[in-house]
Structure 1
Amino acid sequence: MDALEALNTRRSIRAFTPRPVSLDIVRELIRAAMHAPSAGNEQPWHFLIITDREILDKIPDFHPYAGMISESPVSVLVCGDPRQEKHPGMWVQDCAAATQNLLLAAHAKGLGAVWVGVHPREDRIEPLRKLIDLPEVVVPFALIPIGHPAESPESEDRYRPELIHLNKW
């Protein structure tokens, strides 16, 4: 799949088959995530692979939009470490770029994934931090359930020329 096809056909997948995803493939997705741009090449991210069913099944107890995690065999938690910043405040954008790369890589590999937001919601950050023993200095940014898709939503053209401006508003 070429880059433009991946960009134009990626959809959020919220239903997964029970088929497992190998850790080698998950590491491949994380490798793609780590190739994202970051301010000053600071790369202020960490990635936690979660396969423990007990951990995964507790997340919907405190995250109202994480119900699909009960079907995913693996999730990746993208975290930011503000101590690694060369440019204060940019870790959020850096982690967002890494998250998008991970989603596109999953799609290119024929997997389904969805971005489940965590940061900046303290009601999601703190319970997740406790559940996985996350150091206080590391911020959970986004949780990405990954699996073999049990749905295939149609792609839609989201191009809207009225949102494009040239030189001035």
Structure 2
Amino acid sequence: MYVNEVLKSIFSRRSIRKYSGQPISDEMVRDLLKAGMSAPSAHNQRPWHFVVIKNRDTLNQITRFHPYSSMLKEAALAILVCGDKKLFKTEIYWDQDCAAATENILLAAHGLGLGAVWLGIYPKEVLVKSMLKLVGAPDGIMPFSLISLGYPAEEQAAGDRFDEKRVHLDQW
């Protein structure tokens, strides 16, 4: 297929929801966070903060209010990606910055042999408020996404998602 490792990684990454239970090293977590912080950011505002959640009770509590988070019961950890209003140079684009950071973490996880899945938080008010309370975030913090992480206990086949019908040249 492709010799380019970056494209190979992008095309083969899939959401993984079953994990082996093996812990993830602190060095790998640091690499994941570095990848998130290497994301592009509008006006270079880098409005993000990351909460690494390893506590089993905390992970299980999330499954009580987030309807799509059952995989957290097996996850080694989760990373909550948040925007910090004090770091906004502009009121817009913070969510795009956090989305880019989230995708970088997902790709880094895949490259490290980890499984991961993106769980949406923002803009669902009940999820935002529940996460704020659970992690004790200060005023001005906006939870954006939660990434469930672990060593895969399942494989998801790569599929070709390219759809020529969704490509428009110069005009619609």
TM-score normalised by L of structure 2: 0.96
Answer yes or no: is 1:69 the counterpart of 2:72.
Answer: yes
CA distance in structure 2 between the partners assigned to 1:94 and 1:82 by the alignment: 13
Specify the alignment match of 2:17 in structure 1. 14
Specify the alignment match of 2:26 in structure 1. 23
1:36 is aligned, of 36, 39, 48, to 39
Answer yes or no: is 1:87 the counterpart of 2:71.
Answer: no
Cα deviation code 1:116-143 (max 9, x no counterpart): 0000011111111111101121011100
107-116 or 81-90, larger mean C-alpha shift: 81-90
Q: SS of the counterpart of 1:36?
A: coil
Specify the alignment match of 1:54 in structure 2. 57
* TM-aligned CA deviation for residue 83 of structure 1: 2.2
* TM-aligned CA deviation for residue 44 of structure 1: 0.3
Answer yes or no: is 1:140 the counterpart of 2:138.
Answer: no
Q: SS of the counterpart of 2:72?
A: helix
* TM-aligned CA deviation for residue 29 of structure 1: 0.7
Query: Match of 1:29, as an amino acid?
Result: L
Please give the root-mean-square deviation of Cα atoms over the aligned residues, in Å.
0.9
* TM-aligned CA deviation for residue 39 of structure 1: 0.2
* TM-aligned CA deviation for residue 89 of structure 1: 1.4
TM-score normalised by L of structure 1: 0.97
Specify the alignment match of 1:168 in structure 2. 171
Specify the alignment match of 2:159 in structure 1. 156
Q: SS of the counterpart of 2:27?
A: helix
Query: Match of 2:13, as an amino acid?
Result: R
Cα deviation code 1:67-109 (max 9, x no counterpart): 1000001110000112212222110000000000000000000
Query: Match of 1:86, as an amino acid?
Result: K
Unaligned stretches of 5+ in structure 2? none
CA distance in structure 1 between the partners assigned to 2:85 and 2:41 by the alignment: 13
